């Protein structure tokens, strides 16, 4: 759980950096997107590893949740859980599944069309017919026009933030890399990551929404 979680944390940082390029430099964004989309190492090694990581994380999350439910068959009539633990820590399965649902939509938006263009239509050029520059930035802008879509994306990032507010520091605890000395630093880094990264994604989504609707 912790290892797949840590792996996803690194992936997400990478994903964020590339997306952020779309805000500061469309050209660089295009170059990097084309590289990521056509490089065999990324496409045929890292992408399957990532998918495996997500499925493993989801699968283990569900298995652990079921084991946990099984460990207390009779619930308390009166339980004051908020006296000793955060909402985030107790609802990882809910925030996690919300993120998973979003991932379904996100795949439908980006991954499915990409696979269709590249491997069904066989167009590996990364360009639109009759245009000289790469297509990625233009396509990105076209996808951020529907306000409902933007709303769902923003909501998903809020769930992601809640997930990571517990998950980040939890993964360090799980692999044993936490003691009195490191704990405050890990907690702080975790809070920064869990707030800034999803907020950054929300910013990017709104940025393209505002720019593409004018």
Q: Choose from another protein, ligand HEM, none: what does 77 bind? Cβ within 5-8 Å by kind.
A: another protein
Q: How far is the CB of 136 from another protein (least distance, A)?
A: 38
Q: How far is the CB of 175 from another protein (least distance, A)?
A: 6
Question: What value does the CA radius of gyration of the chain take, rounded to a whole number of Å?
Answer: 20
Q: How far is the CB of 95 from another protein (least distance, A)?
A: 13
C-beta neighbour count of 57 within 10 angstroms:
21
Q: Choose from another protein, ligand HEM, none: what does 103 bind? Cβ within 5-8 Å by kind.
A: ligand HEM
Nearer to another protein, 84 or 132 (CB): 84
Q: How many residues bind ligand HEM (CB under 6 A)?
A: 25
Q: Is 84 in the site for another protein (CB under 8 A)?
A: yes
CA distance linking residue 196 with residue 189, whole number of Å: 10
Q: How far is CA 208 from CA 13, 76, 127, 147, 196, in A?
A: 20, 48, 20, 11, 18
CA distance linking residue 134 with residue 26, whole number of Å: 10
Q: Which stretch binds another protein (CB under 8 A): 7-15, 19-27, 143-151, 177-185?
A: 177-185
Phi, psi of 134 (to 5 degrees): -65, 155
Q: Is 198 in the site for ligand HEM (CB under 6 A)?
A: no
Q: How far is the CB of 99 from ligand HEM (least distance, A)?
A: 4
Q: Is 190 in the site for ligand HEM (CB under 6 A)?
A: no
- As given in the structure block, the two tokens for residue 198 are 């999803």
Q: Which of 32, 159, 171, 209: binder of ligand HEM (CB under 6 A)?
A: 171
Q: Choose from another protein, ligand HEM, none: what does 58 bind? Cβ within 5-8 Å by kind.
A: ligand HEM
Q: Is 167 in the site for ligand HEM (CB under 6 A)?
A: yes
Nearer to another protein, 81 or 112 (CB): 81
Q: Is 157 in the site for ligand HEM (CB under 6 A)?
A: no
Q: Report whether 151 contacts 118 (CB < 8 A).
A: no
């Amino acid at each position: 759980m912790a290892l797949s979680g840590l792996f996803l944390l690194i992936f997400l940082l990478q994903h964020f950096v590339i997306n952020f390029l779309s805000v500061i430099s469309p050209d660089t964004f295009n170059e990097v997107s084309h590289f990521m989309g056509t490089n065999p190492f990324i496409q045929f090694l890292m992408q399957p590893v990532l998918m495996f990581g997500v499925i493993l994380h989801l699968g283990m999350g569900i298995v652990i949740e079921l084991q946990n439910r099984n460990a207390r068959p009779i619930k308390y009539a009166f339980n004051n859980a908020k006296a000793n633990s955060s909402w985030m820590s107790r609802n990882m399965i809910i925030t996690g599944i919300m993120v998973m649902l979003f991932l379904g939509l996100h795949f439908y938006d980006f991954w499915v069309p990409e696979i269709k263009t590249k491997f069904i239509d066989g167009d590996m050029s990364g360009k639109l017919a009759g245009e000289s520059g790469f297509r990625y930035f233009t396509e990105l802008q076209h996808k951020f026009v529907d306000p409902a879509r933007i709303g769902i994306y923003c909501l998903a990032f809020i769930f992601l933030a809640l997930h990571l507010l517990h998950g980040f520091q939890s993964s360090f605890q799980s692999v044993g890399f936490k003691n009195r000395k490191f704990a405050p630093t890990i907690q702080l880094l975790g809070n920064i990551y869990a707030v800034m990264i999803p907020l950054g994604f929300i910013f990017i989504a709104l940025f393209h929404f505002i720019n593409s609707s004018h």
